Structure 1
Amino acid sequence: MQNEFSMNAEVTLVAPVTKTAIEWAKEMGINWETVKRRRYRGWAWEQALSPRRRRLPIMEKNA
């Protein structure tokens, strides 16, 4: 479980490139704390490392 939120977790976003989560965050221009919060909320690595915010169904109703 600890590795799920670790900056040293190995993540493959673009096959066959594997980097640590913190390396991907730096490359994508995302603050590491943002990535950690997203992972804690249950976001997949691909979503957590995405520069755009995830739209929630409740947000779409009010838009």
Structure 2
Amino acid sequence: MTDKLTIHKFKRSKVFTILNVTVETKSKVDEISKMTGVPRVDVVASMIDFAIKHLEIVDDDDE
């Protein structure tokens, strides 16, 4: 057994931009980030990707 900590360098393949959310939403995302150890930017990206894939748009005029 060796007493080494190995850290692998990586580059993000995506470019990120600012997204405005409420203070309450940011707090919830921060909590999830802390619980999982996943950076906030990755938590938000995953949530938005999931939401887009499961989105249903309803035209209220058709009802």
TM-score by length of 1: 0.29
Normalised to the residue count of structure 2, the TM-score between the two structures is: 0.29
Between Structure 1 and Structure 2, the one with more strand by share is 1
Structure with larger RCO (C-alpha < 8 A, sep 6+): 1
